[in-house]
């Protein structure tokens, strides 16, 4: 059996190229497989997070004795997470108030603070409403803050406006001013915010009907919101 050294030399570069190509293809397959596996894990993580969010209230109850308006034994509870400086929240508020009137004792509304970082006065406004609540006027201050959102949002010093509302509501303004700076008031806001995070709130306003989160469309479109309320009441036999 004879050998052909010259032929072997000529074939060597092609062998090397073939080996490199096989290596590249193998590497590409591994990367592709790794990427697909990574995507699946991310989707599973997201799904797990969404599943956990429905039970998050057990571990993150929010501020104690939350602010509630409506029927004490209502078959439908609307839990709202909102930011006082959020324009969309300001637009939703009068619709929610009208819904409360129209549905009466069949619904109750729980308000939760969820001040967003991009709104520089949102945390202060939340503290103002909570401070008014210490004098039994939370909802009245809540409504005043939303009714006049544009005024204080564009002001250099919103505290002046909040104190004006406190005066109109007959509050002890000196006490109100001191209460807005209390740690217990700030803690209530933070507790609500943490509850929202645990439940999957990603923006405001966010509404939950008997614990089920509504989409943005169903929240902001009054007709769709009423449809969802009717469906939930119907499912509850009401």
Q: How far apart are CA 221 and CA 31, in angstroms?
A: 45
Q: How far apart are CA 218 and CA 206, in angstroms?
A: 10
- C-beta of residue 143 within 8 angstroms of C-beta of residue 97: yes
| CATH match for 67-235 among 3.30.390.30, 1.20.120.160, 3.40.30.10, 3.50.50.60 | 3.40.30.10
Q: How far apart are CA 18 and CA 46, in angstroms?
A: 42
Encode pLDDT of 54-99 as tens digits: 455 568 999 999 999 999 999 999 999 999 999 999 999 999 999 9
Encode pLDDT of 125-183 as tens digits: 999 999 999 999 999 999 999 999 999 999 999 999 999 999 999 999 999 999 999 99
What does the block give as tokens for 50? 């969404």
Kindly list the domain boundaries of the chain, sorted by start residue: 1-53, 67-235
Q: Are strands 67-70 and 107-113 parallel, antiparallel or unpaired?
A: antiparallel
Residue 123, number of CB atoms within 10 A of its CB: 20
Helices H, strands E: what count in the chain? 10, 5
Residues facing residue 70 across a β-bridge: 108
Residues facing residue 113 across a β-bridge: 82
Tell me the pTM: 0.76
Residues facing residue 67 across a β-bridge: 111
């Amino acid at each position: 059996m004879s050998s052909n050294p010259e032929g072997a030399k000529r074939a060597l570069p092609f062998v090397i190229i073939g080996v490199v190509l096989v290596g590249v293809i193998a590497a590409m397959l591994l990367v592709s497989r790794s990427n697909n596996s990574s995507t699946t894990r991310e989707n599973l993580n997201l799904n797990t997070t969404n599943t956990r969010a429905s039970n998050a209230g057990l571990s993150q109850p929010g501020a104690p004795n939350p602010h509630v308006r409506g029927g004490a034994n209502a078959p439908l509870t609307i839990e709202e997470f909102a930011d006082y400086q959020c324009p969309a929240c300001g637009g939703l508020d009068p619709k929610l108030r009208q819904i409360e009137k129209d549905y009466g004792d069949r619904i109750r509304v729980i308000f939760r603070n969820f001040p967003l970082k991009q709104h520089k006065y949102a945390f202060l406004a939340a503290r103002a409403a909570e401070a008014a609540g210490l004098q039994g006027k939370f909802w009245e201050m809540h409504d005043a803050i939303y009714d006049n959102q544009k005024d204080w949002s564009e002001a250099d010093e919103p505290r002046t406006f909040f104190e004006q509302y406190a005066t109109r509501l007959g509050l002890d303004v000196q006490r109100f001013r001191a209460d807005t700076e209390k740690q217990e008031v700030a803690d209530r806001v933070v507790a609500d915010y943490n509850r929202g995070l645990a439940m999957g709130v990603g923006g405001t306003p966010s509404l939950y009907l008997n614990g089920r989160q509504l989409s943005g469309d169903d929240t902001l479109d009054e007709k769709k919101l009423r449809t969802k309320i009717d469906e939930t009441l119907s499912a509850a036999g009401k």
